[in-house]
Each structure stands twice: as C-alpha cells, then as structure tokens.
C-alpha cells in the first residue's frame, strides 16, 4: 500500500472533476480524498498498479475538464478508510 499526492492543473473546477475522480477511485478500489481546490488536489492510497491507473485517468479527467498538467509525489500513508470529497 502506498500514498500518492497529486496536483492537477488546468480547467478542473465546474466540470465535475471531484465527483468523477471519486467515482473512478471507488471503481478502482482506492481510498483517499479529492479537495475543492483550484489545483485539483488528490490524496490517494492503494497498490502501485491501481494508483498508476488513477494517475493515467487524471491526465484526462472527466469530459469537460481541460487538464494541462499533473504532478505527483509519494508520501507517508494516512490510512484512509474510504474515498471522499473534501469541501
């Protein structure tokens, strides 16, 4: 199990980015949170292969998003229990 922090830049507000990220994370069986921030901040935990799948999805985002960049880094586990949307 690993923890990944991700920052997504571009048009990620007002395009269902958070809800779509939660839906994708839930489908993949990941835990963590996506925050209501202009940079599309995501903190997520899971195995490396599944984290890579979410990271790939984040490069595109939902249909109305216009992702211009994705940065990520591994950090210490926070032991999330589920995937949530933080306001």
Spans of all domains in the chain: 2-80
Catalytic residue among 18, 35, 71, 87: 18
Residue 36 is among the residues annotated as catalytic for this protein: yes
Instruction: Output the pTM of the full model.
Output: 0.91
Which CATH code, of 3.30.70.100, 3.40.50.11540, 3.40.50.300, 2.60.120.10, is assigned to 2-80? 3.30.70.100
Residue 8 in this model has a pLDDT that exceeds 80: yes
Residue 71 is among the residues annotated as catalytic for this protein: no
Contact 85, 23 (CB under 8 A): no
pLDDT at residue 13, as a whole number: 82
pLDDT of 18-63, one tens digit each?
A: 999 999 999 999 999 998 777 779 999 999 999 999 999 999 999 9
pLDDT at residue 36, as a whole number: 77
CA distance 67 to 29: 23
pLDDT of 64-80, one tens digit each?
A: 999 999 999 999 999 99
Helix ranges (DSSP H) in 1-87? 17-28, 48-58
Catalytic residue among 35, 36, 71, 87: 36
CA distance 37 to 42: 9
């Amino acid at each position: 199990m690993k923890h990944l922090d991700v920052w997504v830049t571009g048009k990620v507000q007002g395009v269902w980015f958070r809800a779509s990220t939660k839906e994708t994370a839930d489908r993949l069986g990941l835990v963590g949170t996506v925050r209501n921030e202009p940079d599309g901040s995501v903190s997520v935990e899971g195995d490396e292969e599944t984290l890579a799948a979410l990271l790939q999805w984040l490069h595109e985002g939902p249909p109305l998003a216009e992702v211009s960049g994705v940065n990520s880094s591994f950090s210490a586990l926070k032991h999330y229990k589920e995937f949530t949307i933080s306001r």
